[in-house]
Amino acid sequence: MTEQTAIAIQGLYKSYGRVQALRGVDLEIRRGEIFGFLGPNGAGKTTTIRCLLDLIRPNDGSIRVLGINPQGDPVAVRKRTGYLPGELNMEDNLKVEGQLRYYIHLRGNQVDWGFVRQLAQRLDLDLTMPIRNLSKGNKQKVGVVQALMHRPELLLLDEPTAGLDPLMQHEVYRLLTEAQGDGATVFFSSHIISEVEALAERVAIIRSGVIVEEAEPSQLVTMAMRRVWVRFKKPVDPTPLSTVEGITLLPQSNGIRVHLQVGGDMDGLIKALAAFPVSDFEIERPSLEEVFLAYYEAGDGKEND
Amino acid sequence: MFAEFVHSLSCKRGQILGWGIGLVLYGLMMVSLFDSMTAIVGIQDMLASYPKEMMAFFGDVMEFTTPKGYLSIYYFSYMTVIVGVFTASLGAGLLVSDEEKGILDLVLAHPVSRTALFWGRVLALIVATLVILLLGWLSWVIPAGSTGMNLTWIEFLRPFAPLFAELMLFGTLALLLSLLLPSARVAGMLSGGLLVANWLLMGLSNLNKGLKAIVEFTPLYYYQGGDAVDGLNWGWLAGLLGVTLVFTLLAWWRFQRRDIRVGGEGGWNLPSLARRSRRSAAASPEA
């Protein structure tokens, strides 16, 4: 853990009765980066985030948030953090303004109300509406505003754009990018791959309470299986290609056009193709979604809550 | 803590107002009936003819024509049960109701410690109960001057002290249970049930002397009721408040150490019930 580390998690374990939600999560998030936490429902994303705020207590492992142990001094962590829960619930009998003012009171009135109005305006949020009359999307906007209103150093966002329309999703992306520009670190969970791909500088994939991969989105894509189409000048027997390590011949192949799956780097394939009369060569770049699915298909398919 | 106290009290204003108005109306009605009720010729004979099983729950009915006896029988003998429902439900939902709604998760993500949240809300429970009792007291003491209830304001006030202590005891018991049991509703029902059971046991002990040994271990045995008009039993009062403090400290200790739950994480069912429901789901043909 260095000065440049916003979040450091080591060997984090958490169980709910017999259900093991986290099984040794290790994660390090640098200050000032936007970090995406990817995983399906029940993989352990929310549990990890809630441990960071001392809302739940881990069974084992260590956590440092902005250099502070949240179990030792949760208030200090929360003071410098903005949080948006995945399941957002608020007092139904309050109006939006009343709800936000309550949160501001909890923050010791250290919030610029002008900035709150500005955020509400950008998200097209009516401050006079009763919470009970708000749609899921509008409630989410209240959640985004309360997370950003005190200009926190660290944003912990659990599925920040859930329920928002595409226009508002992009406004939230802009707000997060601006917060990052002001020096904030953004740690957000999502199961929307396009969101993570568009926003995150680094990504961790969690499966059944274990981080299975951590890299930049582009690196993840590179590390994944790629599919290659090779067109030959004349019909060939492609069988020798399948003997190269990491290469699988796919069923759509014929003598002229061969479809291959390549794992790892392309060096072996290119060297093997030197012996063939190649006319064209095309690599299909997998989307992050395909990478993500590949990680899950590799597992047993059973996830815990 | 202050922000949480103000917010919590403000959220309960509807309940406070509802219960307060109810107590005021009841108090006003009973005060206004005092003169006419006590003037009914032969009412003591009539009360004496009632089944003793029925009268066992209301104390010494032969004192009914005195202001102290009237207060005891028509107010303090069962006000613990009536207002106890309010404090038990308030205590059970003080923290866990917001937790079950998923509200507490976000509240505790702000820079407020669990201790501040806990004590802010406990203070709101105390003040809410005091406000209701204050309204109840005013409903007796203000109109009493125009009736034959020749008690001073302090004599009217004294019985409210053990009533408050008793209510807080069951309110904090409900709070503690809510932090131990799977839901606020179960905690409210259990603590309310214990209160009613204790009240019934107290009444029955007036009929069956064998129960006296048991009721000595229950809180209502140390509840003075209308007898406090003549003076407080400070030992009993301190005992009730002491137990209240123990319940509150245990609840605080528990709240410090437990997870703030949200739906979907498990832990809402009792383990044995959860296992049973899983087994029956697995056994059903649709599963």
Q: How far apart are CA B140 and CA B119, in angstroms?
A: 32
A90 contacts A140 by C-beta, under 8 angstroms: no
A9 contacts A28 by C-beta, under 8 angstroms: yes
The position carrying tokens 């989105």 is A217
A123 contacts A144 by C-beta, under 8 angstroms: yes
pLDDT, residue A226, reads 77
Query: Residue A303 — pLDDT band, cuts 50, 70, 90?
Result: very low
Enter the tokens of residue A285. Answer: 């770049």
Please report, as a single letter, which amino acid is at residue B271: P
pLDDT, residue B82, reads 92
Query: Residue A286 — pLDDT band, cuts 50, 70, 90?
Result: low
Residues 6+ apart with CB under 8 A from B18: none
How far from each other are the two terminal CA atoms of chain A, in whole angstroms? 30
Cβ distance of B102 and A143 shorter than 8 Å? no
Residues of chain B contacting A152 with CB distance shorter than 8 Å = none
pTM of the model: 0.83
Provide the shortest C-alpha distance from residue A56 to chain B (in Å). 4
Mind listing the pLDDT tens digit for each residue in B97-133? 999 988 999 999 999 999 999 999 999 999 999 999 9
Disruptive mutation site among A75, A142, A150 for chain B (greatest number of B CBs within 10 Å): A75
Mean pLDDT (chain A) is 88
DSSP B148-206: T----HHHHHTTHHHHHHHHHHHHHHHHHHHHHSS-HHHHHHHHHHHHHHHHHHHHHHT
Show which residues on chain A lie within 8 Å of chain B, measured between beta carbons.
16-17, 19, 21, 42, 46-47, 50, 53, 55-57, 74-76, 78-79, 81, 83, 85, 87-91, 93, 102-103, 105-108, 143, 146, 305
Mind listing the pLDDT tens digit for each residue in A150-194? 999 999 999 999 899 999 999 999 999 999 999 999 999 987 777
H-run or E-run covering A81: strand A81-84
A 10 A CB-CB count for A97 gives 16
* Coil vs helix vs strand at A292: helix
Nearest CB to A305 within list B102, B266, B271: B266
pLDDT, residue B166, reads 96
A172 contacts A160 by C-beta, under 8 angstroms: yes
H-run or E-run covering A300: none
Mind listing the pLDDT tens digit for each residue in B202-234? 888 888 888 888 999 999 999 998 899 999 999
Residues 6+ apart with CB under 8 A from A24: A11, A12, A13, A61, A209, A210
Residues of chain A contacting B112 with CB distance shorter than 8 Å = 75, 78, 106
Q: Tell me, what's the ipTM?
A: 0.80
Instruction: Sort residue B273 into left (φ over 0), alpha (ψ -120 to 50) or beta.
Output: alpha
Between chain A and chain B, the number of residue pairs with CB atoms below 8 A apart is 85
Provide the shortest C-alpha distance from residue A103 to chain B (in Å). 7
pLDDT, residue B192, reads 94
Cβ distance of A57 and B7 shorter than 8 Å? no
Q: How far apart are CA B124 and CA B38, in angstroms?
A: 39
pLDDT, residue B174, reads 97
Cβ distance of B6 and A83 shorter than 8 Å? no
A253 contacts A276 by C-beta, under 8 angstroms: no
Disruptive mutation site among A18, A96, A102 for chain B (greatest number of B CBs within 10 Å): A102
pLDDT, residue A302, reads 43
Mean pLDDT (chain B) is 86
Q: Please identify every stretch of chain B with a pLDDT value under 50, giving residue numbers as ranges.
A: 264-268, 271-272, 283-287
B263 contacts B104 by C-beta, under 8 angstroms: no
pLDDT, residue A238, reads 84
Q: How far apart are CA B169 and CA B236, in angstroms?
A: 13
Provide the shortest C-alpha distance from residue A98 to chain B (in Å). 10
